[in-house]
Amino acid sequence: MTRNIILPVSREEVRKISAGDKILLTGIIYTARDAAHKRMIENKDNKGIDFPFEIEGSAIYFAGPAPAKPGRVIGSVGPTTSGRMDAHSPRLIKEGNLIMIGKGERNNTVVDAMVKYGAVYLAAPGGAGALMAQKVKSCKLCAYEDLGAEAVYELYVEEMPLIAVIDSAGRNLYDEVKKDL
C-alpha cells in the first residue's frame, strides 16, 4: 500500500503504517546523526537544555546533508547507517519521536521502544542521496553548527519516497527477509 503522509502526524496515524507500506512523506523533518543525538540527550540530561526542535511527533532523518551547489536547496542527502543511533533512539522515542528515517537494521531495544511508544522506522534508499535532495524544498540550520554536516537541519520535503521497514507493532521486514534466506 502507498501512503501519503503529511507531517506533523499523530501517534494514531503512525500506528496505521504497516511494515512494507510505501511512504511518500511531506512536511518538516530534522536531520540528526550520532553526534547530534548524543548532544541532544547530554544537553537535556546534564544542562537542562531542551531539544533543539519539538521532539513530540517529530520525524528524524539520519543524514548529514552535503553543501548545496549553486541554484540548489541542498546537496546530496542520503541516509546514514541507523545502528549508529541505536544507543540514543529509545530515549528520543520515549520523549515523542514518532518517525525515524535511515538505512539498515535496528537493535531490539529500539524496536521494543517503538512498540511501547508507537513509532515507526522508514528506510531511505542507500545510494540515492541525489534523489532525496530533489525532494527537499527548503533547508535551514536548526542547531549545533559546529558539527558541520552532522548539525541538525530542518528540511521541508515533498513526497520523499520511503519504505516502512519496522512498524509500531514490531513487524520487521529485515527479520522477515532473513527468515526467507
In the predicted model, what is the mean pLDDT of the chain? Answer: 96
pLDDT at 160 over 90: yes
**pLDDT at residue 41, rounded to an integer:** 97
Residue 65 is placed in which grid cell? 546533508
Pick the closest to residue 21 from 178, 179, 180, 171 (CA basis): 171
Tell me whether residue 37 is one of the annotated catalytic residues: yes
Segment 157-172 mean pLDDT: 98
d(CA 51, CA 117): 19
Angle at 163 between CA 160 and CA 169, to 5 degrees: 125
Q: Which residues of 38-50 are buried (b: 16+ CB within 10 A; e: fewer)?
A: ebbbebbeeeeee
pLDDT of residue 23: 98
Domains of the chain: 2-180 (3.20.130.10)
- The residue length of the chain stands at 181
Short-list 73, 43, 67, CA closest to 55: 43
What pTM did the predictor assign? 0.96
**79, 61 in Cβ contact below 8 A?**
yes
pLDDT tier, 93 (very low <50, low <70, confident <90, very high otherwise): very high
For residue 103, what pLDDT is reported? 96
Which sign does the torsion angle of CA 120, 151, 155, 126 carry? negative
Question: Which residue carries 533547508 as its cell?
Answer: 139
Q: What is the pLDDT of residues 26-76, one digit of tens each?
A: 999 999 999 999 999 999 999 999 999 999 999 999 999 999 989 999 999
The active-site residue out of 5, 33, 36, 37 is 37
